[in-house]
Each structure stands twice: as C-alpha cells, then as structure tokens.
Amino acid sequence: MTGNRRSAAWFGETGRAGMIYRSWMRNQGFGPEVLDGRPVIGIATSASELAPCNAHLDRVAEAVKRGVWQAGGFPLMFPTMATGESLMRPTAMLYRNLMAMEVEELIRANPLDGVVLLSGCDKTTPAMLMAAASVDVPAVMVTGGPMLNGKYRGEDVGSGTHVWKFEAELKAGRMTQEECFFAEGCMARSNGHCMTMGTASTMACLAEALGMQLPGSATWPAVDARRFEIAQDAGRRIVAMVDEELRPSGILTREAFENAIRVNAAIGGSTNAIIHLLAIAGRAGVRLSMDDFDVLARAVPTLVNLMPSGKYLMEDFCYAGGLPVVMRRLAQAGLLHSSAVTVTGKGAGDNVSGARCWNDEVITPIDAPFQPAGTGTAVLRGNLAPGGAVIKQSAATPELLTHRGRALVFDTAEAYHAVCDDPDLDVTESDILVIRGAGPKGYPGMPEVSNVVLPAKLLKAGVTDMIRICDGRMSGTGYGTVVLHVSPESAVGGPLALVRTGDEITLDVPSRSLTLHVDDDELDRRRAEWTPPEPVAASGYTWLYTTHVLQADEGADFDFLRGTRGHAVPRDSH
C-alpha cells in the first residue's frame, strides 16, 4: 500500500534526492520515525488576519494535527491564500479562482497523500473544493464555523444582514452614527464567519451536503470546543481515507451535487451557491446547469428559519441539531440521494439516520415548513437574460415577484450611489433599478453590489423594497427583490447593455421570465451602436482574469481551469 503513496516518491527515495527530501524535513525535528512511509497529510490553512473570518484557523489546524497523529499519519500544515470578503478590493470573488489555482498546485507539487482543507469566509470554501476536485487526492474539508450570534440592545443581530438594515435606518434618520459604531462590535462577538445564512454558512453546509466534510461539521460555532473535536475527527478520518483511496472523484458525483442543490433550497441558502457549485462541478467533470437549480429546488420547501430570510442565526441552527436534521428530513421525503458516498465512507443517508431535532421553530418539519416548496431561488430567462438570471424569492417582497415597471438605468453601481441620496431623483417605488457593469469581466470580479440601498427619498417615505436588476451578485446576507447574475453580462454585450431609462421591464417569477419590452429591431439598432467598454487591465492578474473568466451561468471559473488535472507526481529535478 505504502508504495502507492505519493509521499513515497519523496521520502521513500534513496540516493541524493531522497537525502535532500528527508534531510531538510529534519531541520524541524522530524526524525526517521515519521518518515517511514506513513500517510503524509497536508493541512491547508487559509488563516489570515486579513481574512477575519479565517483568523482562528491555525488553532483548528492544531486540532486536525492531533487527529492525524492519533491515526498514525504525519501532518504538515501549510498556508494558503485567503480571500477575505470584508477587506479585499475590488471584491474577493476576483481572487477565488487564483486561490483555487494556488491550492491545487500546492497539493500537487508537495509530498502529500491526503489533505485537510481549512476554510471559512465565503470564497475560501469553494476555492478549496475546486482545487480538491482538480487535483483529486483524498480530501476532507473543515470549515471554521460561524461567529456567535450578534447581540445588540436585547436583540439578535446578524452579520451582514443588519449592515443593510442599519444602513437603511441611518439613511432614514432613525439611527445615529454613534449607535452604528456601537452596533458594529455587537455584530462580531467572536472568531468565525458570518452567522447568518450568508454565503459562508451556505457553503459550509453545502460542503457537508456534498459529502466533503464530516456530518454535523458545518454549524458548530468557531469558538465551541466541538469545533475542535470535529477538526480532530477529520484529522483521524483523512488518514483512513488515504488507505481507502477515497478521493473527491468518488464523492463529487452528480448525486452529490443534486443533494447540495436540494439542501441549498432547504436551508434558504445564498444565491452565490449557484455560481460556486457550477464552478466545483466544472472541475469535477459533472454536468450541471442553472436550470438544474430551478428544477431540483422547486420540490423542496425551506426548512431552516434563518436570517436573511428568517429570524434565527447559525448558533440556533446548530443547537437545533444542525444540517444532519435537514438532510434526514429530506431523506425521509425522498429528496436526498441517500447512497451518495461521503468522506465518512458511508452514504449521505446513513450519516444522518440518527439525527434529531431539538427545535422545530428553527428547523421546521417538512409538512409544516418555514416556506413552502417552490419559493426558493428561481432561475429566470427572457430577452433580458438569455443565459439566465436568479432571484432569491424568500428574500424578496411577494407582491413584487410579478411586476411591470419603468427602467431607471445606471452603468455602474457607483453611478447610482452618486445620485441615490438626491431628494429630486426621478424615481418611484414602482420603477425598476437596473445596475450594470457588475459582471465577471465588467467590474471585474462580479461584486456583491446588486442589492443597492433604495433611494433615500423612497426610504424616507417608508418604502422598504423595490425591484433591482443587475449582472453582479448579492451578498448571501442581503435581501430584497433583486434579480442577480444576469447573463450574459453587459460588458460582453448582453441585452442588459441595451436597456435605456424609460424602457418597460416585466418580472414574472411564477413563469420564470424577465422581459424587456423593446422590439427586436430596436434592440438590433441599439446593439449596432453599442461599443464595448475599455479593457480594465492590460497586464497582470486582472488581465488574466478578464481574459479567461467564464460567465456566471458557467460558474465564473477560468476557461483553462475546468476539469481535473490529477495527482500524478511531478518530475524530480534533484
């Protein structure tokens, strides 16, 4: 068995090369007793003080190490890039693919037989899963866990979600700047990622639903001792997975993605999950399309009552039983591929067969769901979005889901922000804000700018929502009637580029359509007049990104990174 291990091509060598590999490891005090052919396990940590949601991952790594040693493996921790959502400009999404490429190459280039992936903030989880799928060595993910529930003046406040609420309160004059400063600290009380069902919590749950992290792993708070126990369990498990040769290619199957899509619907997950799952599936060679999300999710009710669509937060979800309860309920309703293999070596259904719910208000029963089937994220098509667009119905205002209105068009989010406080802005609540220039190539990086704050004039009048249409993304913690991911984006000449202020648009979510009421001849005339925007970069990483990024309906991965490149040991230059 050990002869097949990748690490044997380094530490099992004789002669000069083997001496070099072993000798330099000994400068850390690793003697021959651990360079004896046991599984070498990489612990890829995206810990960084510049990615606050991941800042504690080195401590999680220590727990993983304990588990690896306990199971007879040899753990080696290594740092990876960290794409922190809160600080990176122009947007962390610009760097997801770079992180995925870096992690893939680090795993392949080093003497690793298996890897434990430590992620947290939004993009770090899909980046690591994309990498694992492409290099295909045995891999277990351990996400860092959510922050403790935010607490402000006796009320639970959700990270992200309450940023939008506080901003609207501030603009409406119902909150002071001093109160906002104080509330900032109340939202972020501990290590961990956003504790709403934002993108980080969603992707942590979907890593579990895909079978790539241990059952129950997604929801334990970052500071709970059980976060460290489960990290230790992952360390033990990866050593066994190396001997079992259980690789991502055996886990990331079409059934696993279908499970993840249904779980995403059941937890009321982030719209960003669509882009990330499409990208991971593209790496794993699994055919998945935007339409799969609509078709599969239509039969799934939303069971989890969490912000931004609901009331509770991740701590409550954890104490109610966590994701295993959701998956068990889906399995009992015939909505889970129970035999889909997971990192435990068992099927997804076996893993959760003993799960019990301790709070039916937080994780509702399937026959009395928080929101009925068919009200989750919908995929829209029409002459305004031939490649598709998405809307999170649960975060929208029901009355606006069928609406015809006048378009008010802005070429960038910044152009809108420059005028949105103008008391004389020509806007009514039945208008439709069109924000473009926010797609993968156009911004670049497809930022979370789509749910722009409403015009101050309307906020002051008590308006709480209006339709927004954009080729960018929305934070998973955001809410509102927002049509996202319009594809193709405006920067490549998609129909969104041709809309003009005063045009009429109909949003009809029940019929899954998005229609621009401009006839084809006029659209052809506008297309002939349209000139593409200047390239945003002529060199460097941003040039690479804008040259090779795919559209949102293909996961916004790089065209040259799709697929698996395997784990063959690279040539030896010693």
In angstroms, the first-to-last Cα distance of the chain is 25
Pick between residue 83 and residue 551 the one whose CB is nearest to ligand FES. Answer: 83
Secondary structure element (H or E) that encloses residue 241, with its range: helix 225-244
Cross-strand bridge partners of residue 516: 505
**Residue pair 293/269 in contact by the 8 Å Cβ criterion:** no
Could you give the CA distance from residue 295 to residue 154 in angstroms, rounded to a whole number? 41
What is the contact surface with ligand FES in residues (CB under 6 A)? 53, 85-86, 121-122, 160, 193-194, 198, 200
Pick between residue 145 and residue 439 the one whose CB is nearest to ligand FES. Answer: 145
Pick between residue 39 and residue 145 the one whose CB is nearest to ligand FES. Answer: 145
Extract the tokens encoding 196. 């709403």
For residue 321, how many other CB atoms are within 10 A of its CB?
Answer: 22
Q: How far is the CB of 85 from ligand FES (least distance, A)?
A: 4
Inter-CA distances, 169 with 173, 239, 352, 416, Å: 6, 51, 42, 19
Q: For residue 347, give the 3-state DSSP assignment.
A: strand
Pick between residue 270 and residue 364 the one whose CB is nearest to ligand FES. Answer: 270
Where on the phi/psi map is residue 14: left (φ > 0), alpha (ψ -120 to 50), or beta?
beta
Extract the tokens encoding 129. 């899963």
Q: How far is the CB of 160 from ligand FES (least distance, A)?
A: 6
Could you give the CA distance from residue 231 to residue 211 in angstroms, rounded to a whole number? 15
Q: How far is the CB of 144 from ligand FES (least distance, A)?
A: 9
Q: How far is the CB of 476 from ligand FES (least distance, A)?
A: 8
Could you give the CA distance from residue 215 to residue 113 in angstroms, rounded to a whole number? 23
Pick between residue 46 and residue 232 the one whose CB is nearest to ligand FES. Answer: 46
Residue 470 phi, psi dihedral angles, 5° rounding: -155, 150
Q: How far is the CB of 2 from ligand FES (least distance, A)?
A: 40
Q: How far is the CB of 472 from ligand FES (least distance, A)?
A: 17
At 90, the amino acid letter reads P
Pick between residue 144 and residue 405 the one whose CB is nearest to ligand FES. Answer: 144
Cross-strand bridge partners of residue 139: 115
Q: How far is the CB of 194 from ligand FES (least distance, A)?
A: 3
Pick between residue 80 and residue 364 the one whose CB is nearest to ligand FES. Answer: 80
**Residue pair 303/355 in contact by the 8 Å Cβ criterion:** no
- Is beta strand 432-435 parallel, antiparallel or unpaired with respect to 402-410? parallel
Q: How far is the CB of 177 from ligand FES (least distance, A)?
A: 22
Q: How far is the CB of 135 from ligand FES (least distance, A)?
A: 25
CA 440 to chain centre: 15
Extract the tokens encoding 362. 């937080």
DSSP secondary structure letters along 45-88: E---TTSGGGTTHHHHHHHHHHHHHHTT-EEEEEE-----TTT-
Q: How far is the CB of 310 from ligand FES (least distance, A)?
A: 18
Pick between residue 163 and residue 378 the one whose CB is nearest to ligand FES. Answer: 163
Pick between residue 194 and residue 486 the one whose CB is nearest to ligand FES. Answer: 194
